[in-house]
Amino acid sequence: MLNLTTLPLLAGRGIGGIVSWFIRVVIYDICVTTIQEVFGVGRFTALMIFLGILFGISFVSYMLRRRMSRPVDSDL
C-alpha cells in the first residue's frame, strides 16, 4: 500500500518512471532467478551473488575511470 510520502515521488516521475521501475525489477528478478537455478542455491544467496557481481563491475569501472582521467593539477 502506498503511503503519503511516496505519492509525490510517483506523481513527479509519471507513468514512465513507474514503468521503468517495473522493468528494472523484472530484469533483476530474472537475473536472480537464473543465478538461483544455475548454481542451485537459495534465493538470498543468489541475491548476494548478484549484488557481488554488480559491486565488482562498479568497482572495476571506478578504477578504470580514475586511471583514465587526467589529474586536475596537470593543466596548471
pLDDT (tens digit per residue) in 20-50: 888 989 999 999 999 999 999 999 999 999 9
Which residues fall within 8 angstroms of residue 28, CB to CB, at 6 or more apart? 50
Q: Please report where in the chains the cell 532467478 appears, as a residue.
A: 33
Distance CA 32, CA 74 (A): 44
The closest alpha carbon to 39, from 52, 27, 26, belongs to 52
Q: What percent of the chain has pLDDT over 90?
A: 53
Q: In whole angstroms, what is the distance from residue 63 CA to residue 53 CA? A: 15
Q: Taking 60 as the threshold, does the pLDDT of residue 16 lie above it?
A: yes
Does the pTM exceed 0.85? no
